[in-house]
Amino acid sequence: MDSTTFQFSLSVPRDPQFVSTVRKLAVLAARYASCGDGEAETFGGSVEKAVRACLEQSSGDSIAVIVRRNAGPVEVLVDGHAITVEP
């Protein structure tokens, strides 16, 4: 694992208190991949919106989240919906 290639998967409880956790992970992944602070924060905001939308629309006990990069953009999948940022 390095800043050009990484992936981790998590299952987040379907609870609004965990939205900020997913946002922070997205920001950290973007910064790790060399995005600037502003760009990383904007990306985190987009991921947060996706998680909130998922909370409103979906059912079940948890939300599947994948944070990854394979020598391209940083990608966060929230229940299969992709949000990306190019470092």
On whether the CB atoms of residues 54 and 63 are closer than 8 A, the answer is yes
> What are the φ/ψ torsions at residue 86 (nearest 5 degrees)?
-100, 120
Q: Which residues pair with 68 in a beta bridge?
A: 7, 75
Amino acid present at 83: I
Statement: the pTM of the whole predicted model exceeds 0.75: yes
Confidence of residue 58 (pLDDT cuts 50, 70, 90): low
Quote the pLDDT of residue 16.
95
CATH topology of domain 5-85: Heat Shock Protein 90 (3.30.565)
Cα-based torsion angle of the residue sequence 49, 51, 56, 58 in order, rounded to the nearest 10 degrees: 140
